[in-house]
Structure 1
Amino acid sequence: MKIHKFSDVKSHNIGEGTSIWQFVVVMEDAKIGKNCNICANSLIENDVVIGDNVTVKSGVYIWDGVEIEDNVFIGPCVAFTNDKRPRSKEYPEAFLKTIVRKGASIGANATILPGIEIGEKAMVGAGSVVTKNVPQYAVVVGNPAKIVEWIDKDE
C-alpha cells in the first residue's frame, strides 16, 4: 500500500497494492480493496465500499451509500450523488444506495444520481447524466443517459 504524505487517510481497511495519491481524503469507515489506484483530489466517505483493481481518477467524490465492485474504472470528475432532495443541514435517515457492478466504466464528468445501479461491464459516456439503472453490457450517453449500443459479452 502506498499513501502519499499529502493525503488524509483515516481508514485502516485498505488492501495491499493500493495507491492513494496527494490531497485524497479517505474517512475512517471506508473500505478499499487491493490493487486500487485512487488519484489526486478525491474524497471517499465512511459508508463506501470499493472492490479490488478499481481506478478512481482525479477529482472524484464518493459519498456515503456508494458501492463499487471489482475492476471498475471511474473517470476524472465523476459526480456521485446520494440525496434526491438535498437541503442544507437536513439529512435523510439513510442515504440511497448506488452500486457500480464489476467491470463497469464511467467516463469523465458523468453524473450518477442516487439509488442507481450500473450493471456489470456497462459503460457510461463522458458527461452523461445517469437518471435510471443501466443494464449490464449497455453503453449509455447523454442527458438523460440513454442506451446507444451493447457490448459483446466476450469483450
Structure 2
Amino acid sequence: MNRIYIALFRKLWFVINKRNYKKLGGNSFIKNPLIVTPKFISVSDNVFVQANARIEGITSYEGISFYPHIEIGENCTIQQNLHLTCAQSVFVGKNTAIAANVTITDINHPYENIDLSIEKQPLEVTPVSIGEDCKIYNNAVILPGTKIGKHCVIGANSVVLGNFPDYSIVVGAPAKIIRRYCFATNQWKKTNKKGDFTKEE
C-alpha cells in the first residue's frame, strides 16, 4: 500500500510541477528541496533527487546579470543535501549517481580586492560538466570550470578542479587521478599525477 501511495504522490507532484520547469521528464521527482529555481532547470526522464537539495540558478549578483542553465540527464540519482548553484551552466550526464552532501557550483567568489568584502566582489563564473555513467561519493566538492569525463569515479571528500578524462578514478583534496582504464590491456591501471599510466610491479 505504501508503494502505491508513493507512486501516486510522485505522479501528482509531476503533474503539478511540470509546467514550472524548463524541462521535466517523465517519472522524475525532486523530494522536498530547500531551494529550487525550476525555470532554469532541465530534468530528463527517471531522475530522482532526495530531500533537502539546493538547486539554484543565480540571475543577478552585485549588479551583474546571469543566465543560468542546469541540466540533469536521464536516470540520474542524487542523494540528500545536494548543494548546486549555477550562474552559467552545470551539466550532469545520464546514469550518473551522486551521493549525499555533494556540492557542485560554477561560481567562484574572488578575493583579489582586499579593500572590498569577498561577498561584495563580482562573481567569477565557469561552466561545469559531469559526464554520463559517473559515481560521485559523499561530501565531494565540484568546483567551477571542472570537466569530468564519462564513467568516472570521484572519491568521498574530494575537492575537484580541472579536466579529467573518461574512465578515471579521481580522489583527494585537491583531487588527482589515481587510476584510469587502459583499453590496450582491458584493465584499470595506476597513473601519475598527470594521469599518464605508470609501470606497475
How does the TM-score come out when normalised to structure 2?
Answer: 0.67
More displaced, 32-41 or 64-73? 64-73
Give 1 or 2: higher strand fraction: 2
Aligned with residue 45 of structure 2, among 24, 27, 34: 34
Give secondary structure in 1 for the equivalent of 2:178: strand
How many pairs were matched up? 151
Divergent runs of 4+, >6 A: 152-155
Q: Deviations over 1:88-114 (max 9, x none)?
A: 24443x731000011111111011110
CA distance in 2, matches of 1:99, 1:75: 17
More displaced, 139-148 or 19-28? 19-28
How much does 1:62 deviate?
A: 1.7
Aligned with residue 144 of structure 1, among 159, 163, 174: 174
The letter for the 1-side match of 2:98 is: I
How much does 1:58 deviate?
A: 0.6
The letter for the 2-side match of 1:30 is: I
Structure 1 match to 2:199? none
How much does 1:85 deviate?
A: 3.0
Matched, 1:131 2:161: yes
How much does 1:75 deviate?
A: 1.2
Aligned with residue 118 of structure 1, among 113, 136, 148: 148
Q: Is the 8 A contact 2:44 2:72 kept in 1?
A: yes
CA distance in 1, matches of 2:95, 2:141: 20
Give secondary structure in 1 for the equivalent of 2:179: strand
How much does 1:134 deviate?
A: 1.5
Aligned with residue 14 of structure 1, among 24, 30, 34: 24
CA distance in 2, matches of 1:152, 1:71: 22
Q: Which has the larger radius of gyration?
A: 2
Give 1 or 2: higher helix fraction: 2
How high is the sequence identity, in percent, across the aligned residues? 28
Structure 2 match to 1:53? 75
CA RMSD of the aligned region, Å? 2.6
Matched, 1:44 2:55: yes
Q: Quick one: structure 1 residues 104 and 90, their matched pair in 2 at CA, closer, same or farther if it must change by over 3 Å?
A: same
Q: Deviations over 1:19-75 (max 9, x none)?
A: 221235331221111100111000222321111001111101222121111111111
Structure 1 portions without partners, runs of 5+: none
Structure 2 match to 1:79? 103
How does the TM-score come out when normalised to structure 1?
Answer: 0.84
Structure 2 portions without partners, runs of 5+: 1-8, 58-68, 111-117, 188-201
